Amino acid sequence: MDSMLTRRAFCGSLVAAAQTRKLNLVLILTDNHGAWSIGPYGNRDMRTPALDRLAAEGVTFMRAFSNNAVCSPTRASLLTGLMPSQHGVHRYLAANGAQVGPRAYYTLAEFETLPKIMKRNGYRTALSGKWHLGANLTPQDHFDHWITMPHGNSLGFYDQPVIEAGKIRQEPRYLTDLWTDHGVRFIKENKANPFFLFLAYNGPYGLGNSMKEPIRNRHAAYYADKELPSMPRDEAHPWNHNYVAWMRDPAVRRKYAAEISGIDDGVGRILAALEEEGVRDNTVVVFLGDQGLAGGHSGFWGMGDHTRPLTAFDWTMSIPLIVSHRGKTAAGHRAAEMVSTYDVLPSLLDYMGLGRKPAASPGRSFAGALRGEAMRDWDDAVYFEFENVRAVRTPEWKYIERIHESPNELYHLKTDAGERMNRIDDARHAGVRAELKEKLDAFFARYADPKWDLWKGGRSKSGLITGKLFGLEIVEGR
CATH number at residue 254: 3.40.720.10
**pLDDT exceeding 70 applies to what percent of the chain?**
94
Give the pLDDT score at 387: 96
For the segment 113-137, the average pLDDT, to the nearest whole number, is 98
Give the pLDDT score at 473: 54
The answer to whether residue 16 scores a pLDDT higher than 50 is: no
Binned at pLDDT 50, 70 and 90, residue 270 comes out as very high
State how many domains the chain has.
2
Dist CA 232 CA 300 (whole Å): 9
Do residues 166 and 271 both lie within one domain?
yes
Task: Please indicate, yes or no, if residue 475 is contained in any of the structural domains.
Answer: no
What strand order describes the sheet that includes 397-402? 382-386, 389-393, 397-402, 409-412
Q: Which of 152, 199, 208 is nearest to 178 (CA)?
A: 199
Task: Please indicate, yes or no, if residue 57 is contained in any of the structural domains.
Answer: yes
Give the pLDDT score at 239: 96
Give the pLDDT score at 475: 52
Binned at pLDDT 50, 70 and 90, residue 288 comes out as very high
Binned at pLDDT 50, 70 and 90, residue 7 comes out as very low
Task: Please indicate, yes or no, if residue 424 is contained in any of the structural domains.
Answer: yes
Do residues 36 and 117 both lie within one domain?
yes
Do residues 297 and 338 both lie within one domain?
yes
Of 370, 405, 428, which residue constitutes the final position of a domain?
370
Do residues 391 and 349 both lie within one domain?
no
Do residues 234 and 301 both lie within one domain?
yes
For residue 204, say if its preceding peptide bond is cis, omega within 30 degrees of 0.
yes
The CB density around residue 103, as the number of other CB atoms within 10 Å, is 12
Give the pLDDT score at 97: 82
Give the pLDDT score at 11: 43
Identify whether the C-beta of residue 263 lies closer than 8 Å to the C-beta of residue 219: no
Binned at pLDDT 50, 70 and 90, residue 19 comes out as very low
Do residues 365 and 394 both lie within one domain?
no
Binned at pLDDT 50, 70 and 90, residue 465 comes out as confident
Dist CA 145 CA 127 (whole Å): 6
Binned at pLDDT 50, 70 and 90, residue 95 comes out as confident
The CB density around residue 181, as the number of other CB atoms within 10 Å, is 16
404-422: burial string, b at 16+ Cβ within 10 Å, e else = eeeebbbbbeeeeebbeee
The answer to whether residue 14 scores a pLDDT higher than 90 is: no
Task: Please indicate, yes or no, if residue 299 is contained in any of the structural domains.
Answer: yes
Do residues 246 and 389 both lie within one domain?
no
Domain with 202 in it = 22-370
Identify whether the C-beta of residue 476 lies closer than 8 Å to the C-beta of residue 461: yes
Do residues 358 and 328 both lie within one domain?
yes
Do residues 122 and 181 both lie within one domain?
yes
Residue 413: HSE in the Cβ half-sphere, 13 Å Cα cutoff: 13
Do residues 408 and 285 both lie within one domain?
no
Dist CA 99 CA 317 (whole Å): 25
For the segment 248-271, the average pLDDT, to the nearest whole number, is 98
Question: What Å distances lie between residue 61 and 51, 78, 224, 392, 426, CA to CA?
Answer: 13, 16, 31, 19, 32
Task: Please indicate, yes or no, if residue 170 is contained in any of the structural domains.
Answer: yes
Query: Average pLDDT, whole number, for the chain?
Result: 94
Strands (E), 69-209: 124-129, 145-148, 160-164, 167-171, 195-204
DSSP string, 449-474: -TTT-GGGT---TT--SSHHHHT---
The least confident of 154-168, 316-330, 464-478 is 464-478
Do residues 321 and 446 both lie within one domain?
no
Task: Please indicate, yes or no, if residue 34 is contained in any of the structural domains.
Answer: yes
For the segment 276-300, the average pLDDT, to the nearest whole number, is 98
Dist CA 14 CA 17 (whole Å): 5
User: Which helix (H) or strand (E) covers residue 322, if one does?
Assistant: strand 321-324
pLDDT in tens, 374-433: 898 999 999 999 999 999 999 999 999 999 899 999 999 999 999 999 999 999 999 999
Binned at pLDDT 50, 70 and 90, residue 467 comes out as confident
The CATH code of the domain that includes 431 is 3.30.1120.10
Dist CA 338 CA 378 (whole Å): 9
Task: Please indicate, yes or no, if residue 443 is contained in any of the structural domains.
Answer: yes
3-state secondary structure 233-246: CCCCCCCECCCHHH
The answer to whether residue 474 scores a pLDDT higher than 60 is: no
Do residues 50 and 93 both lie within one domain?
yes
Give the pLDDT score at 21: 84
